[in-house]
């Protein structure tokens, strides 16, 4: 019985950085993102005698599995079983599985490929569970166990990842608004295709070493409220103010943790300065935000899209991707 699921990345508007439990990927604070419709990842999962993993990159070429990526997938499967056991559903799962992943996402370009991969696997694993369907919150928890931000793909549109008490199931996604409520564009500018040296998992584990971390955690509840309100009212200026504040704040934490993580490049800063100038001059509704890489996400309204795309097209040293508000991870075929 083959199960095929599909998912895509999300872009955080209030960033997740730092865990209260690294092993279980329980975030230190809430976060919120917009699911994207592009690029996509698909995963085919089957029950099998032994665990087998195959993965194909965006060119369709089979990727050599590193020990680290195999270990992460294995650990995710083990944690998924642990979570299902905690809600009394594990006996319904096969002992081992085969996984085939097709990723449309170029690696390490600051677009969260791990969120797309693990939310996709969560969708497929949930479909393996016989009997009553898992809830979207339970699917979100399974995604989170592989990649914290992956918890935000089990709903479409705008999704918060929120903490609720203690234990393996104590952080999961909540839909703030659907993709139909407010369609925004994400014009993605990738200034560098170098593989980043330190990934998010390692970075999260050192977040508390930044002297700015405690204040960041203190500010998040207010930012979450403002961001949720901005989305519900479709107030772009409010969304811009709070999300830019939060993105820059997360990078200050990263840059002051030990060892420091400097994801933003000169090109990132130049793009930010230039888009601010253009935004003021042409009264555009566009905001910038950066995850764990130099990639700049220019999120804009339909009315401002043409001007933002023209700006992005002039950045000759960058690769450009275009995405918009997307739907949740979902099954393709069973």
15 is an interface residue for ligand DP6 by CB under 6 A: yes
Residue 278 CB, shortest distance to ligand DP6, in Å, is: 25
Residue 12 CB, shortest distance to ligand DP6, in Å, is: 3
Task: Sort strands 26-27 and 41-48 into parallel, antiparallel or unpaired.
Answer: unpaired
Residues 5, 292, 296, 300: which binds ligand DP6 (CB under 6 A)?
A: 292
Integer-rounded Cα Rg, in Å, for the chain is 19
Residue 110 CB, shortest distance to ligand DP6, in Å, is: 8
142 is an interface residue for ligand DP6 by CB under 6 A: no
Residue-wise burial string across 124-157, b where 16 or more C-beta atoms lie within 10 A, e elsewhere: bbbbbbeeeebebebbbbbbbbbbbbbbbbbbbb
Return the number of other C-beta atoms located less than 10 Å from residue 221's C-beta: 11
Q: Which stretch binds ligand DP6 (CB under 6 A): 81-89, 142-150, 178-186, 299-307?
A: 142-150
216 is an interface residue for ligand DP6 by CB under 6 A: no
105 is an interface residue for ligand DP6 by CB under 6 A: no
Q: Name the residue nearer to ligand DP6 (CB basis): 15 or 216.
A: 15
Residues 4, 5, 25, 26: which binds ligand DP6 (CB under 6 A)?
A: 25
158 is an interface residue for ligand DP6 by CB under 6 A: no
201 is an interface residue for ligand DP6 by CB under 6 A: yes
**Per-residue DSSP letters for 124-166?**
HHHHHS-SSPPPHHHHHHHHHHH-GGGGGGSSSSEEEEEE-SS
Q: Is 181 helix (H, G, I), strand (E, B) or coil?
A: coil
Q: Name the residue nearer to ligand DP6 (CB basis): 16 or 172.
A: 16
- Contact status, residue 18 vs residue 251, Cβ threshold 8 Å: no
Residue 307 CB, shortest distance to ligand DP6, in Å, is: 27
Residues 7, 40, 55, 114: which binds ligand DP6 (CB under 6 A)?
A: 114
- Contact status, residue 62 vs residue 143, Cβ threshold 8 Å: no
Residues 104, 148, 169, 173: which binds ligand DP6 (CB under 6 A)?
A: 148
Torsion region of 174: left, alpha or beta (phi above 0 gives left; psi -120 to 50 gives alpha)? beta
12 is an interface residue for ligand DP6 by CB under 6 A: yes
200 is an interface residue for ligand DP6 by CB under 6 A: yes
DSSP-H helix ranges across the chain = 67-86, 113-128, 136-146, 200-205, 213-233, 236-256, 266-282, 302-313
Residue 306 CB, shortest distance to ligand DP6, in Å, is: 28
Residues 99, 115, 168, 253: which binds ligand DP6 (CB under 6 A)?
A: 115
Q: Which stretch binds ligand DP6 (CB under 6 A): 145-153, 267-275, 294-302, 321-329?
A: 145-153
Q: Name the residue nearer to ligand DP6 (CB basis): 3 or 171.
A: 171
Q: Which stretch binds ligand DP6 (CB under 6 A): 147-155, 264-272, 312-320, 324-332?
A: 147-155
Structure tokens at 53: 């993993």
Task: Look up tokens 């490929």; give the residue.
Answer: 113
For the sheet with 330-333, list strands across it.
52-56, 96-103, 41-48, 3-7, 330-333
Q: Name the residue nearer to ligand DP6 (CB basis): 10 or 304.
A: 10
Q: Is 99 helix (H, G, I), strand (E, B) or coil?
A: strand
7 is an interface residue for ligand DP6 by CB under 6 A: no
Integer distance in angstroms from the first to the last C-alpha of the chain? 7
């Amino acid at each position: 019985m083959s199960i095929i699921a599909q998912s895509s990345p999300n872009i955080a508007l209030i960033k997740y950085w730092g865990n209260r439990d690294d092993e279980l990927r329980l975030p230190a604070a809430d976060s919120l993102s917009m699911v994207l419709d592009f690029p996509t990842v698909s995963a085919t999962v089957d029950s099998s005698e032994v665990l087998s993993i195959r993965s194909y990159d965006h060119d369709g070429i089979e990727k050599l599995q590193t020990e680290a990526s195999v270990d992460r997938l294995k650990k995710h499967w083990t944690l998924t079983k642990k979570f299902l056991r905690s809600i009394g559903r594990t006996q319904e799962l096969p002992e081992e599985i085969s996984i085939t992943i097709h990723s449309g996402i170029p690696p390490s370009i600051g677009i969260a490929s791990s969120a797309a991969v693990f939310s996709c696997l969560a969708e497929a694993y949930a479909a393996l569970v016989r009997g009553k369907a898992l809830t979207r919150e339970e699917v979100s928890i399974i995604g989170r166990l592989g990649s914290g931000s992956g918890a935000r793909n089990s709903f479409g549109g705008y999704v918060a990842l929120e903490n609720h008490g203690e234990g393996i199931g104590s952080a999961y996604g909540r839909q703030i608004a659907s993709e139909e409520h407010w369609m925004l564009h994400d014009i993605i500018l990738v200034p560098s295709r170098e593989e980043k040296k330190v990934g998010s998992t390692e970075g999260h584990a050192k977040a508390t070493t930044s002297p700015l971390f405690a204040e960041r955690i203190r500010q998040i509840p207010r930012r979450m409220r403002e961001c949720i309100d901005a989305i519900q009212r479709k107030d772009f200026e409010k969304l811009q103010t709070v999300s830019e504040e939060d993105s820059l704040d997360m990078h200050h934490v990263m840059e002051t943790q030990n060892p420091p993580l400097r994801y933003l490049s000169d090109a990132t800063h130049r793009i930010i300065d230039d888009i601010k100038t253009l935004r003021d001059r042409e009264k555009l509704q566009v905001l910038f935000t950066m995850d764990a890489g130099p990639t700049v996400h220019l999120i804009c309204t339909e009315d401002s899209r043409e001007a933002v795309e023209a700006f992005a097209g002039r950045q000759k040293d960058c690769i450009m991707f275009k995405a918009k508000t997307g739907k949740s991870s979902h099954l393709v075929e069973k």
